[in-house]
Amino acid sequence: MNRSKPAPKPGLRRRAFLRGAGGIVVGLPFLELFAPRKAAAGPDDAPLRYLQFIHPQGTVWNQWAPTGGETNFTLTPVLSPLQPHVDDLVFIRGVANDVSWLNSLSNGHNSAGRTLLTAMPYSSNLDGQGNLLPQDQQVDNDTAAGPSIDQVIAQHMQAPTPYASVNFGVGGPDVGEYQMLFSGPAEPVSLEGHPQEVFDKLFTNGDPMAPSTAELIRAQRKSVLDSVDESFKQLDSRLGAADRMRLEAHAEKIRELEMKIGNTGKPGIGCGTPTVSLPPGFSPYTDGGIYDVDSSRAFIDLMVMAMACDFARVGTLQYTNYHGPTFPWLGLGVPGGYDTWHTWVHSVEDPASDPTVVEVFRWYMGELAYLLQRLRETPEGDSTLLDHCLVLSVSEFDNGSVHSGYSLPYILAGSLCGALATGRSLDRSGRKHGELYAAIQQLYGVGSDTFGWAPLCAGPITL
């Protein structure tokens, strides 16, 4: 989690926290009781959020892109899990990452990862004036020369929250070639890879620098909610009907997270490499955690609660371990003859003809659908958390088998309090991904018409 900007204390005191025995502090959702009078009138005064959902290895393009027109389109097989949320979505095709090719000596993964959210070349591939160096003076791998879009938005917000952003790595914190988040030139932002540690930091102490009180709670075998039970009762007596429903729903979600994460009989779901059944000939990935469907859902729940509690207003869910994940809960395995998921994706001539490849990419969209469901069912003010969000979903490729980035699979979700018209499928062929980010940053009040590498940004895309 990015602690680059500590929260101003007056803002935190005005916001709702409950303090219990042992110094335990539990964050609360937005309640009308603690809001200015005008904020209770409607969602316009609710804080805006920005979330990113990043999955690796591209997609199956001819089973991803919706068919039909801008508003009368049909979802394809890979996108089918998103059908219940289609009115909250904007699909964008035709937007290219041409910046990746500026790092001419890099392999496809390194450059695609560094440039996906920054739209900037490697730092070492620019001279002192910011000009691109000729190929014979370039390096094959480096950090990005500018910030990622999430950090630009977080820095512009200057939100009075404990964290500027929360960033989770499903599959472990080791991003390898896929370091995507940067707070500035050559300034990578790390991911949190263990759900238990994230839970402890976010929900057991209001001071993000002192999460150790969670250990005291475990030693006493008491729930976090039990420790603030009396404070909950006192607050409940002061609430109106709407606030009481929000508080009860919030407490239930925290209790569910405790049961899901805390009672596993091990340090944490994401700690260490789980035991899975691998097909013959498969070599376990040794540089990161194997995917776990339970940790994916746990991280999504944690992200939603972090937003609801206002611990941060910017967040990223990045599915790491692009090279060798396995998906045992889908009943799928890497076929004999291929040592990893990565080599399999590269070797499939027609991904659309391989039902296993299609099913894996559909699973990612199912996890996105779960995130949207959780945001939609979380009330905030007179609407929901999703109404106050913009969620960006994308992969570094459109077709992972050939490292293609000519039409990245962008999905936007949420209306951002009405700033974005949803329920649409847009063709923006010929435009660059820095131009998309220029448009997104303007939705949050960033005044610049450019983002990333200026020669490849002709101005914001029309959304």
Q: Which residues, including other chains, have CB under 8 Å from residue 419's CB and lie 6 or more apart?
A: 443
- Type of residue at 396: E
Phi, psi of 73 (to 5 degrees): -105, 165
Please give the residue that has the higher pLDDT: either 279 or 325.
Answer: 325
For 129-152, what is the mean pLDDT?
Answer: 85
Residue 165: Cβ within 10 Å count: 30
Question: What is the fold of 9-456?
Answer: Alkaline Phosphatase, subunit A (3.40.720)
Q: Give the residue from 314, 311, 318, 293 showing the smallest Cα distance to 193.
A: 318
Is pLDDT at 215 greater than 50 in this prediction? no
For 76-102, what is the mean pLDDT?
Answer: 93
Least confident stretch, 58-72, 255-269, 325-339, 369-383: 255-269
Residue 69: Cβ within 10 Å count: 11
Please give the residue that has the higher pLDDT: either 71 or 211.
Answer: 71
Please give the residue that has the higher pLDDT: either 382 or 365.
Answer: 365
- For the chain, the average pLDDT equals 76
Q: What is the distance between the alpha carbons of residues 186 and 125, in angstroms, rounded to a whole number?
A: 12
Least confident stretch, 93-102, 134-143, 170-179, 271-280: 271-280
Secondary structure, 3-state, 419-452: CCCCCEEEECCCCEHHHHHHHHHHHCCCCCCCCC
pLDDT computed for residue 216 by the predictor:
36
* Cα of 169 vs its chain's centroid, Å: 9
Predicted confidence band at 166 (pLDDT cuts at 50, 70, 90)? Answer: very high
pLDDT computed for residue 213 by the predictor:
29
Q: What is the distance between the alpha carbons of residues 76 and 80, in angstroms, rounded to a whole number?
A: 6
Least confident stretch, 237-251, 291-305, 338-352, 416-430: 338-352
Contact 153, 50 (CB under 8 A): yes
- Percent of the chain with pLDDT strictly greater than 90: 34
Phi, psi of 19 (to 5 degrees): -110, 135
The predicted-structure confidence for 342-353, as pLDDT tens digits, reads as follows 777 776 666 666
pLDDT computed for residue 425 by the predictor:
98
The predicted-structure confidence for 224-271, as pLDDT tens digits, reads as follows 566 556 666 777 777 778 777 777 777 777 777 766 655 433 322 222
> How is the chain split into domains, by residue range?
9-456
| Pair of tokens at residue 70 | 């801008």
Our CA angle for 463, 146, 323, nearest 5°, is 85
Q: Give the residue from 29, 6, 50, 117 showing the smallest Cα distance to 313.
A: 50
Is pLDDT at 283 greater than 70 in this prediction? no
For 145-169, what is the mean pLDDT?
Answer: 92
For 330-338, what is the mean pLDDT?
Answer: 67
The predicted-structure confidence for 43-76, as pLDDT tens digits, reads as follows 446 789 999 999 988 888 888 999 999 999 999 9
pLDDT computed for residue 58 by the predictor:
82
Least confident stretch, 142-146, 167-171, 319-323, 340-344: 340-344
Residue 44: Cβ within 10 Å count: 12
For 167-174, what is the mean pLDDT?
Answer: 82
